[in-house]
Amino acid sequence: MRWPQVEPTRLDSPYRVTPWSIHDLAFQWGPGLVAGIGNGLILGYLMYRSALVPPRMALLGLIGGTLLIVNFVLILCNVYDNGDPPSGLLTLPEAAWELALGVYCAWKGFRPESPIARDSARVRNAAEPAIA
């Protein structure tokens, strides 16, 4: 039995690697997965635990990151394409989290009643020399 000969450089091969396919792959992995894990889950968890921002706002980051990862998995499984309406709906909480965090920190700064802010103020006051 002879196996059919296949040219490895055929352009209609599903395994071809082109700059466009690398761009598509990077575009799916970058904003879809990395932003969901980094900006949503990790930053949301750190802000929730440190209480530097209100807890409800930090929960928006945790929920938004989770939905963005679910959106990424659904796009990779070809349930729908990137840019379709379900993709936009699942991306909105992450966008709201990033916008809210930036506006809140620029407008009000971190919460002074946070345990981290109280500890750093206590250390700063203890390090100052006493005026005699």
Residues 6+ positions from 59 with CB-CB distance below 8 Å: 44, 48
Is the confidence at residue 4, as pLDDT, over 60? no
pLDDT at 6: 52
- Cα gap 75→78, rounded to integer Å: 5
Query: pLDDT of 42-73, one tens digit each?
Result: 999 999 999 999 999 999 999 999 999 999 99
Please state the domain extents for the chain.
Answer: 24-127
pTM for the model: 0.72
- Cα gap 93→17, rounded to integer Å: 34
Q: Where are the beta strands (DSSP E) in the chain?
A: none
pLDDT at 106: 94
